[in-house]
Structure 1
Amino acid sequence: MSVRGLGRVLQGVGIAVGLLGLIGGFVLLAVQYRPYSVPTASMVPTVQPGDTILAHPVKPQDIGRGDVVVFRDPLWGNVPEVKRVVGLGGDRVACCDATGRLTVNGVPVTEPYLATGLGSSLGSTKFSATVPAGRLFLLGDNRAVSLDSRTHLGVDDGTVAASGVVGRVEGTVWPLGSARTIQRTAAFDALPGQDATAHGPLALAVAATLGGGALVLLTAAAGTVGGLLTRRRGSRG
């Protein structure tokens, strides 16, 4: 086989592999994730207002403390909202210890994801709530502005049904400049019970989509450049 023929074969293989990655990653994203728009600053800095997030479906029994979730609740307006789970059924959630940290079952929790300067601020009013079975206690990462379980303490201690969760947030997809994955937190790992859950294949799907697209473009460009150089050498000969 000539060098030119070998180049064509390699180009074809590169484009085929790139298309497989591009299409496969896109299909995985479409099947496994749902987009939601975030209108408020209640989850800053984890999620910015105006971001479009990707949420992976999750069963109620698989939700863990520390998960960022999208949920609906009739008493909260029955619209998709995004908050962080800090208490599960049976937990006692309270504000606060001597240094201003949230406590869960009497254990202070250091939360590194909170908005700057608000790590010790859960508001001026102390609270204590017991989470009923099958329900969740939810707080925003931007505690100074978030309307969350603290606002609804009068009904079921401010909790929402775990069955109302429609997905676990694993990343932002828009705007493109801030697209990224949202990592699992280890803040609650010292507590017994269900911690933040392992995330799905978002990073793999994004890498396959972007990598596949880049491979197709680079392979096609290399083939075009190679063809031009070959014709130029032929014309000189």
Structure 2
Amino acid sequence: MAVIVVVAVLCSFLIKTFVARSFYIPSASMEKTLMINDRVIVNELQPSLLPLTRGDVVVFKDPGGWLLGSAASTQSLTPLEAALSFVGIPSAKEDDHLIKRIIGLPGDKVACCNALGQMTVNGQAINESPYLFSPHEPASAIPFDETVPARSYWVMGDNRNDSADSRYHMGGRGGGFVPQSAIVGRALVITWPVGRWTWLDDYPAVFAAVPQSKQ
């Protein structure tokens, strides 16, 4: 029995480390796609083995100062919480990661807003109404015109008025871009609460007309 328990824990640890992992959603920045207290499963094979695409919802480590001043990040875990975290079941106290939607890939030129209040990617306006919390408002209250560096991404929350995303950190370290090395993986499915179980869409139709970057 002891051997079985040890093997099960080891397998859980390896799966969490290399394949899939659960994360807790602590903020409203991705509403209505993700609600506070949701839990999601993240595919860690993206982007290590599989490429990310525009529209993917990704979990990433703080690329530098994004979580500065977060109270929960300083809370210590109880022994039980630490044990559950080891096998891939995170505590609500573990908020050292963020979750946003990829809008710009490496080399993309992202800008906002045009005369209709829409974002443009490589000069092509996109209609983000399928996932935005406030689809009838401009896509961003913060204007920007940026080119995404190599091996980096431009990310934004679906709840644009309550999301300290790439726009908010343009003047900080890294210029608001998230390096590929900071990305844990793509969020695939909401697992909790049970009533909210659903796959997370990357809305390919929104980005279908976007041309490839020139880089």
CA spacing shift, 1:51–1:109, aligned 2, 3 Å: same
Q: Counterpart of 2:117 in 1: which secondary structure?
A: coil
Distance across 1 between alignment mates of 2:138 and 2:58? 23
Distance across 2 between alignment mates of 1:138 and 1:163? 14
Q: Does 1:70 align with 2:88?
A: no
Q: 1:117 Cα shift?
A: 4.1
Partner AA of 1:70 in structure 2: V
Distance across 2 between alignment mates of 1:91 and 1:118? 25
CA spacing shift, 1:92–1:48, aligned 2, 3 Å: same
Distance across 1 between alignment mates of 2:180 and 2:136? 27
Q: Which runs of 5+ in 1 are unaligned?
A: 1-26, 195-237
Distance across 1 between alignment mates of 2:158 and 2:136? 9
Q: Counterpart of 2:161 in 1: which secondary structure?
A: coil
Q: Counterpart of 1:177 in 2: which secondary structure?
A: helix
Partner AA of 1:134 in structure 2: R
Q: 1:70 Cα shift?
A: 0.3
Q: 1:193 Cα shift?
A: 4.0
Q: Counterpart of 2:59 in 1: which secondary structure?
A: strand
Distance across 2 between alignment mates of 1:169 and 1:66? 11
TM-score by structure 2 length? Answer: 0.71
Q: 1:86 Cα shift?
A: 0.5
Distance across 1 between alignment mates of 2:123 and 2:52? 21
Q: 1:189 Cα shift?
A: 1.8
Partner AA of 2:210 in structure 1: L
Q: How do 1:99-118 residues align onto structure 2 when only pairs under 5 Å count?
A: 99-111=116-128, 112-118=130-136
Choose the corresponding residue for 2:26, options 23, 39, 42.
39
Match of 2:47 in 1: 59
* Higher relative strand content: 2
* Higher relative helix content: 1
Choose the corresponding residue for 1:162, options 180, 184, 190.
180
Q: Counterpart of 2:181 in 1: which secondary structure?
A: helix
Structure whose alpha-carbon radius of gyration is higher? 1
Distance across 2 between alignment mates of 1:87 and 1:102? 11
Q: Counterpart of 1:99 in 2: which secondary structure?
A: coil
Distance across 2 between alignment mates of 1:63 and 1:51? 22
Q: How do 1:159-198 residues align onto structure 2 when only pairs under 5 Å count?
A: 159-186=177-204, 187-193=206-212
Q: Counterpart of 2:207 in 1: which secondary structure?
A: coil
The question of whether the paired residues in 2 share the 8 Å contact of 1:67 and 1:85 is answered with yes
The count of aligned residue pairs is 165
Q: Which runs of 5+ in 2 are unaligned?
A: 1-11, 69-95
Q: Does 1:137 align with 2:154?
A: yes
TM-score by structure 1 length? Answer: 0.64
Q: 1:179 Cα shift?
A: 1.3
Q: 1:118 Cα shift?
A: 4.9
Partner AA of 2:207 in structure 1: F
Percent of matched pairs sharing the same residue = 39
RMSD: 2.1
Q: Does 1:122 align with 2:140?
A: yes
